[in-house]
Amino acid sequence: MNEVFTSIAKKSDEHEFYTPVPDGYKPGKTKYVVVFGTVMSGLGKGIFSSALAKLMQDGGLVVAPVKFDGYLNVDAGTLNPYRHGEVFVLDDGTESDMDLGTYERFLDCPLSKENYLTGGKLFSMILNRERKGKYLGRDVQFIPHVTGEIKRFMRELAMLRNADLVFIEVGGTAGDIENAYFIEAMRELAYEEGPGNVCNVALTYLLEPQFLGEQKSKAAQLGIKALLGMGIQPHIIACRSTNPATEKVREKISVFSNVPMERVVGVHDMDSVYLIPDLLEQAGLHRRVAEFLGFTVKDNPIARAQWHEFMASLLHPKKKITIGMTGKYTGLRDSYASILKSLEHAGVASGCSVNIKWIETTAIKDDQAAAEALKDVDGIIVPGGFGKRGSEGKIACIQYAREHNIPYLGLCFGFQMAVLEYARHVCGISKAGSTELDTDCEPVIDILPEQKKIEGLGGNMRLGGRDVEIKSGTKAHAIYGASHVRERFRHRYEVNPDYIAQLEKAGMVFSGKHPEHPIMQILELPKHPFFVGVQFHPEFTSRPLRPNPLYKAFVAAASSPDRRA
């Protein structure tokens, strides 16, 4: 056992050290890879970390990712998609950063609240512990208490997952005030765990101004210098760039940072993020990380062959289809990241590439505008969302899809809007609406008192994985091939049970519901080639090698030659 760690652990309660150590934790049993950002945000730390973690996982190691976000929100649930991209919902109901979705897709494993830490969550934990007298009357400080709790979080994750390797992604960039204490915690972690147990990776950026026509490393050097100034010596440097990093630039960075040339790797723009594992594998990066940490990674030809087969189908599709994405966050593609990835996965399964036609529903005011917007699409998705803006445009698009036999997939809010469209135009309930959008309406979509009691909702959403009971003989049952499935939810409003009989009499089938209560979760129109709405978010459970069944069926219908028959 590391002598420094043993000494600190013994003195934690009495001296200036504060290093809470989970019972049974053994330093050196789990190793750590810490990924830092420099120069600028948005370089793809999550993608890089996920790709490297996948290679280590394929090599036989048990890996556990964790993302740190410095903002003071407790979670990502209240963040505007324009500011922070998609909110990714984990099975336990945690509303997290979209990078957690990247980890789940690459590693094909469900994550939980133990894999996600924000500044707000961290400080809430600390203040709660302080109120309970857990700090023995001491003044609670950033060092050692805040950094100590961060280290506790990482070590508890290591034990919970019985991980060989924990991948820690530090959000933001070196120099940000909001992540300075976290970077300090990682410096302390390396000090306490001992040599060869923590590998620091700096992701930096190579500028390539068009007016110069060559790559420049100065910004990268200054970013690395900021890390060095905080006590972080990188062991690996990954150079993000538009074009492959030149040897000259890599040499400059190597000399400046004390990192050997073979550990300074280029990560240039690729046609797909799923090509990044191969890029890192060709550079031998996973083996260099394993060597540094004292691991041996095995060859796994089966896993690599499956991945290469997926990539070959992705890059060389046999046909193309166009899907209309009708939403109100179309100005930022990250708002729909998981949907786009799910369509990509399903496209590979159907041998086609999926082109997205972005349709801003706030601009659709009537049936004619909907027809013009959707005239050249092979399928339509109405994604999740909140609020009234753009909702009438979505309903107009749904009506067009229903009446013109265009494959339709409604997600969460899209499920509710499909119910309203059918209630108005088929059932004749002209004022059918949602109390979320208009309190002066026929409340076909509503929050019901008995549902609040059932789920304990109150003003909160139903979040995370829930079981769905599927009716036999329906399209949903054929798609899933099961009578019970588990999907992830993020919503407040439901179909009002008072209107279910009227909707069903008019031809709508609710093929999925809550196992015990009259809460509708899947709808379909049997006479339509493909018209399905779901109250949940199937995109959160889609994986590259295991597309979600609903997306797979939707893309198959959209790519069928007789889709408009």
Residues marked as catalytic? 412, 537, 539
Please check whether residue 167 is in contact with residue 66, taking contact to mean a CB–CB distance below 8 angstroms. Answer: yes
Task: Please name the residue ranges forming H helices in 357-494.
Answer: 367-374, 391-403, 413-425, 449-455, 475-480
Put residue 326 in one of left, alpha, beta given phi > 0 → left and psi -120 to 50 → alpha.
beta
Name the token pair of 240.
């993000």
Please check whether residue 418 is in contact with residue 410, taking contact to mean a CB–CB distance below 8 angstroms. Answer: yes
Report how far Cα 557 is from the mean position of its chain's Cα atoms. Answer: 26
CA 27 vs CA 14, 18, 197, 337, 420: distances in Å: 21, 16, 8, 37, 58
Name the token pair of 63.
């890996």
Burial of 529 (0-12, 13-18, 19+ CB in 10 A): middle
Cβ-proximal residues to 322 (8 Å cutoff; 6+ apart), any chain: 354, 355, 356, 357, 376, 377, 378, 379
The partner residues of 96 in beta bridges, in order of sequence, read: 88
Cβ-proximal residues to 426 (8 Å cutoff; 6+ apart), any chain: 506, 507, 508
Separation CA 186–CA 169 (nearest Å):
11
Put residue 532 in one of left, alpha, beta given phi > 0 → left and psi -120 to 50 → alpha.
beta
Burial of 390 (0-12, 13-18, 19+ CB in 10 A): buried
Please check whether residue 350 is in contact with residue 556, taking contact to mean a CB–CB distance below 8 angstroms. Answer: yes
Amino acid at 502: Q
Cα dihedral 96, 98, 101, 106 in deg (nearest 10) = -140
Helix axes 337-350, 549-558, angle to 10 degrees: 60
Please spell the DSSP secondary structure of 126-183, one letter per residue.
HHHHHHTTTTTTPPP-IIIIIHHHHHHHHHHHHHHTT-SEEEEEE-S-TT-GGGHHHH
Cβ atoms < 10 Å from Cβ of 492: 17
Cβ atoms < 10 Å from Cβ of 406: 24
Name the token pair of 154.
């990482």
